[in-house]
């Protein structure tokens, strides 16, 4: 099929009006051949306006049509075959098995949302029937359903070129909710984006949906994305990326004449708490598991464990020594882009040169684009005094925090910003010590992992990939798992609407067989 | 019992460090006797810090304890007896039956949330059990529940001194969710606020809850409220009031180092659509119902119908004439406060003096504090050209909009900002004409009323008292009805947590008998 460097708008391939980007192979630093054109204001406006025009028809498509559409996208992605995998490898430096796995995850997400759409619980139907005899006033008939919020702007993430990019979790959940989607392609993988975008565009056609349901825009710099978020047709934003990027979009959205929600998943250091008895039992084994998680994917996961916290003592020392040895034995890996590599190197240098920080292990960099694992240590008192030393360094670097007491470990937890995850490495005998810590962590994080590692985010209904700020801009939401659809729905109540005008899901007899709550009882 | 002009912090009555306010009887303009002291930064900080300290214990109280607490508050409000009603009458100018009804509504809201807490669905429990044999990787055990977001700042509204004030819907839903609440008393009814606040404070004691679960602060000006929203312990804000006020809080909240959600219910003109066949059948009767809704409570409802839109013709003319006659026959009424009266008068004057606007009826003002009903008319083309003429005037004033065609009526709907409600006055024969209008209105409003009037907001599970901006700052929420609790909850997922550490609602065997979804099936 080949990539052509185009935008996808209104069911067509469009040559952008702006100079765009070249993809760069991060392993070699070489530009790949196709020049990708960028969107100007006219193209942004056209894509958003078409999305608005498609909205009413798309949001009222039947559950079966929408589910079939999501599955057709998945089939289209699979049908792209090896061309997609090879392009993604070239653009991201990620290895084949990882990208094949990520493709499976992407298709699986689309399938999960198709299933959720078919089940209908997401429609949130609630009915309070009339009580004409009630005194002093009769109660009207009230029927509530949820409808899609409107066109959504989605920003592809660099670290998941398939599962959190053009047809990733944000797009899949927004389309499932009934929202047209306008995607801003991540400039690090424009070819991968175009291929997947074309699969979605084809699915729109195959399923007979309005062309405005999907558009793919690209371009260098921030102008395209900012124009998307400012466009009055856009009613919500999905973003995964840096804290600075997410905050910038949030402030643009809040300053609009009509403010809109921005669901930004941004920054997390994913602390690992090393409990006394677990360290006593298994320090070396835990250290190996920890380092496996740390260096997985060259540390480029949102849930990468950037902090490990324990009380000093024999077990902690053995953990530190074993982790240092493990890190020293791991190789450097190609990072997603030269910019990410440069930021990682700066972050590691900053820690290494800090008086309060001890370098436990640092792998030598073999080439200019490879991220080399690193492990540092700091006393808890120093981290409490300088919390900025615990900030996220995106890549395979972690900081061990040495506490004097269990209370100090709680203090470190209490001072933490919001996180996607917290991990507890614990033995049965640690249970009582965990209770106060758990209470703190529940306030701070979206997911608590017990005797596992934070990387590896299961796509499930009970997943929370979210958390208090700055992990996300909206702690009530998740961007992975079934709950992600909630972000793109809002309730509408119908009072005494006659049967012929009621949405099908609210009609007497429940013709859609959707889960409903009628007079406070689940139906 | 008497009012004493105090703040309520930490289970105690506190004399505020700042000069505060006197209540004013809006009917006479006279100050009532007690001087209410105002909170300074120290008192704001103490209340918020105590709320944070109480949070972990309060959010984990059992469902039965929390339900009993909500009911105890209701009993305490009832026990205040006539002193409460008389104080509220003196401070608000509202008549006794209205305030007695509002007290019933307030107690009913607390009862509704007690019931919701007991049922347990709000905990949102979802369980995906482990699949240890899954290939290529085992699936972990994931269990999600929702927990309270943290201490909430609530701003009492002037127009519902009981049902949307100190123990109103925001407070009741936040307490139900497990959030401590710090209330900013509305300066228009400080005595009413103190009495109700004391009932809550007493309930906190009676139920053996930490004192920080509730505080009542007051003061003149915006400083107290702004300090509350800025305080790091506060994690969400509930507000009902003006657009300027809600937006100011929203921008303060977004600029915090940790941004927090503001649920502001602000501005709505609640358009009424007059359909052709309904007008042909019943213009005079509809006009009477419309004017009843318009002047109810001197037009001081969030859902007051400020706009009525129809296609010109015989029916519309009859409606306009009958509505004008009705308005002319209604008396002026005491408004909630001198400030509200002044703003109403300015708004009416602005419309009356506008070239494009015709005055259909205007009741003479008999005293300086009474809001006099008014009815104006405008051609749709003029409103489309100058949409600001359709902005909310808080009080018993409405604007009839004369369209040339049904398409122009849709254009007016399409140009509207977000609204709490839209009302359809229609006959069976209007059904086909309603379909395109309904599609527009679903995008614009939270509740669609058919052959009723927008005032009278039922406290029910299927109610939506919300809507797109500027009706609220978050269209995904409601501030009246069962759904209001959703605003103050966030999901937390537990991965492989051992049974002894799991929250009760997520334990095997469902000891709380809460509605749960286990492996994608409702339990």
Give the tens place of pLDDT for each residue, A266-325.
989 999 999 999 999 999 999 999 999 999 999 999 999 999 999 999 999 999 999 999
Q: What is the DSSP letter of A131?
A: B
d(CA B422, CA B464): 12
How remote is the C-alpha of B336 from its chain's centroid?
A: 17
Check whether the bond before A470 is cis (ω within 30° of 0): yes
Per-residue model confidence (pLDDT) at position B50 = 98
Interface contact flag, A501 B434, Cβ < 8 Å: yes
Q: B281 Cβ partners below 8 Å, 6+ apart?
A: B427
- Residue A140: list chain B partners with CB under 8 A: 452, 458
Query: What's the token pair of residue B428?
Result: 């069976």
Q: Does B132 touch chain A (CB under 8 A)?
A: no
Q: Report the chain B residue with the minimal C-alpha distance to residue A488.
A: B476
DSSP SS3 for B174: helix
- Name the burial class of residue A97, with classes exposed (0-12), middle (13-18) and buried (19+) by CB atoms within 10 angstroms of its CB: exposed
Interface contact flag, A458 B428, Cβ < 8 Å: no
Interface contact flag, A469 B258, Cβ < 8 Å: yes
d(CA B40, CA B16): 7
Per-residue model confidence (pLDDT) at position A365 = 74
Nearest by CB: B476 against A439, A464, A490: A490
Taking each helix axis from N to C terminus, what angle separates A169-177 and A63-79, rounded to the nearest 10 degrees? 150
d(CA B90, CA B78): 18
Rounded to the nearest angstrom, the minimum Cα separation between A240 and chain B is 18
Rounded to the nearest angstrom, the minimum Cα separation between B18 and chain A is 32
Alpha helices by DSSP H, listed for A296-419, are 314-328, 338-352, 380-385, 406-415
The one-digit pLDDT tens for each residue of chain B (523 residues) are 689 999 999 999 999 999 889 999 999 999 998 999 999 999 999 999 999 999 999 999 999 999 999 999 999 999 999 999 999 999 999 999 999 999 999 999 999 999 999 999 999 999 999 999 998 889 999 999 999 999 999 999 999 999 999 999 999 999 999 999 999 999 999 999 999 999 999 999 999 999 999 999 999 889 999 999 999 999 999 999 999 999 999 999 999 999 999 999 998 999 999 999 999 999 999 999 999 999 999 999 999 999 999 999 999 999 999 999 999 999 999 999 999 999 999 999 999 999 999 999 999 876 678 999 999 999 999 999 999 999 999 999 999 999 999 999 999 999 999 999 999 999 999 999 999 999 999 999 999 999 999 999 999 999 999 999 999 999 999 999 999 999 999 999 999 999 999 999 999 999 999 999 999 999 8
Q: Report the chain A residue with the minimal C-alpha distance to residue B463.
A: A493
φ, ψ of residue B516 in degrees (nearest 5): -135, 160
In chain B, positions 69-128, which contact chain A (CB-CB < 8 Å)? 101, 115, 119, 126-128
Per-residue model confidence as pLDDT tens digits over A438-453: 999 999 999 999 999 9
Sheet (strand B181-184) strand order: B12-14, B7-9, B214-217, B181-184, B152-155, B236-240, B262-265
Instruction: Inform me whether the pLDDT recorded for A523 exceeds 90.
Output: no
Higher pLDDT, A27 or A113: A113
How remote is the C-alpha of A50 from its chain's centroid?
A: 26
Per-residue model confidence (pLDDT) at position A24 = 93
Q: Does B364 touch chain A (CB under 8 A)?
A: no
d(CA A44, CA A37): 13
Nearest by CB: B127 against A251, A462, A493: A462
Enzyme catalytic residues of B: 265, 302
Whether residue A145 contacts residue A123, with contact meaning beta carbons closer than 8 Å, is answered with yes
Whether residue A356 contacts residue A382, with contact meaning beta carbons closer than 8 Å, is answered with yes
In whole angstroms, how far apart are CA A343 and each of A472, B41, B176? 21, 41, 45
Per-residue model confidence (pLDDT) at position B20 = 82
In chain A, positions 462-501, which contact chain B (CB-CB < 8 Å)? 462-464, 466, 468-470, 473-476, 478, 482-483, 489-498, 500-501
Per-residue model confidence (pLDDT) at position A67 = 98
Q: Does A428 touch chain B (CB under 8 A)?
A: yes
DSSP SS3 for B346: helix
Count of beta carbons in the 10 Å neighbourhood of residue A18: 18
- Residue B446: list chain A partners with CB under 8 A: 491-493
Q: Does A232 touch chain B (CB under 8 A)?
A: no
Per-residue model confidence (pLDDT) at position B331 = 92
d(CA B464, CA B216): 28
Q: Report the chain A residue with the minimal C-alpha distance to residue B436.
A: A56
Query: What's the token pair of residue B484?
Result: 């209001």
Q: Report the chain B residue with the minimal C-alpha distance to residue A448.
A: B494
Q: Tell me the pTM.
A: 0.97
Q: Which of A159, A188, A154, A198 is nearest to A173 (CA)?
A: A154
DSSP SS3 for B385: helix
Per-residue model confidence as pLDDT tens digits over A187-214: 999 999 999 999 999 999 999 999 999 9
Q: Does A364 touch chain B (CB under 8 A)?
A: no
Q: B486 Cβ partners below 8 Å, 6+ apart?
A: B122, B477
d(CA B108, CA A134): 15
Q: Report the chain B residue with the minimal C-alpha distance to residue A471.
A: B258
Interface contact flag, B143 A462, Cβ < 8 Å: yes
Longest CA–CA separation in chain B, Å? 81
Per-residue model confidence as pLDDT tens digits over A3-41: 999 999 999 999 999 988 999 999 999 999 899 999 999
Task: Return mean pLDDT, chain A.
Answer: 96
Per-residue model confidence (pLDDT) at position A369 = 80
């Amino acid at each position: 099929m080949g990539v052509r460097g185009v935008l996808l708008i209104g069911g067509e391939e469009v040559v952008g009006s702006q100079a765009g980007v070249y993809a760069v192979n991060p392993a070699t630093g070489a530009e790949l051949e196709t020049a990708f054109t960028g969107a100007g204001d006219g193209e942004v406006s056209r894509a958003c306006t078409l999305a608005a025009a498609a909205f009413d028809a798309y949001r009222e498509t039947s559950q079966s049509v929408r589910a079939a559409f999501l599955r057709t996208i998945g089939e289209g992605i699979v049908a792209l075959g090896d061309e997609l995998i090879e392009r993604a490898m070239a653009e991201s430096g990620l290895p084949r098995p990882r990208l094949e796995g990520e493709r499976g995850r992407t298709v699986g997400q689309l399938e999960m949302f198709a299933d959720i759409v078919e089940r209908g619980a997401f429609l949130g139907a609630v009915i309070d029937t009339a009580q004409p005899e009630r005194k002093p006033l009769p109660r009207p008939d009230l029927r509530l359903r949820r409808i899609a919020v409107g066109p959504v702007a989605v920003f592809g993430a660099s670290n998941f070129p398939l599962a959190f990019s053009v047809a990733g979790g944000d797009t899949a959940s927004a389309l499932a909710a009934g929202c047209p989607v306008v995607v801003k392609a991540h400039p690090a993988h424009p070819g991968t984006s175009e291929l997947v975008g074309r699969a979605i565009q084809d699915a729109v056609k195959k399923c007979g949906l309005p062309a405005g349901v999907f558009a793919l825009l690209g371009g260098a710099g921030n102008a395209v994305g900012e124009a998307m978020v400012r466009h009055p047709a856009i009613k919500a934003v999905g973003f995964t990326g840096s804290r600075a990027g997410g905050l910038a979009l949030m402030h643009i959205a809040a300053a609009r004449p009509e403010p809109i929600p921005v669901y930004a998943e941004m920054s997390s250091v994913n602390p690992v708490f090393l409990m006394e008895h677990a360290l006593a039992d298994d320090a070396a084994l835990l250290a190996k598991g920890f380092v496996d998680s740390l260096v997985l994917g060259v540390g480029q996961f949102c849930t990468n464990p950037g902090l490990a916290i324990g009380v000093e003592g024999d077990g902690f020392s053995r953990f530190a020594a074993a982790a240092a040895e493990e890190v020293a034995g791991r190789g450097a890996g190609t990072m997603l882009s030269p910019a990410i590599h440069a930021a990682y190197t700066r972050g590691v240098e900053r820690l290494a040169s800090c008086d309060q920080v001890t370098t436990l292990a640092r792998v030598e960099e073999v080439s200019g684009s490879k991220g080399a694992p690193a492990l540092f240590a700091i006393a808890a008192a120093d981290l409490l005094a300088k919390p900025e030393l615990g900030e996220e360094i995106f890549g395979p670097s972690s900081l061990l925090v040495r506490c004097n007491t269990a209370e100090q470990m709680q203090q470190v937890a209490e001072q933490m910003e919001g996180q996607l995850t917290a991990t507890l490495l614990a033995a049965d005998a640690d249970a009582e010590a965990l209770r106060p810590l758990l209470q703190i962590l529940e306030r701070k994080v979206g997911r608590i992992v017990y005797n596992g590692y934070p990387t590896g985010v299961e796509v499930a209904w009970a997943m929370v990939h979210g958390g208090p700020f700055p992990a996300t801009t909206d702690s009530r939401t998740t961007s992975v798992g079934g709950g992600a659809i909630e972000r793109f729905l809002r309730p509408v109540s119908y009072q005494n609407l006659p049967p012929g005008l009621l949405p099908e899901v609210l009609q007497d007899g429940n013709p859609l067989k959707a889960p409903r709550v009628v007079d406070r009882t689940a139906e």
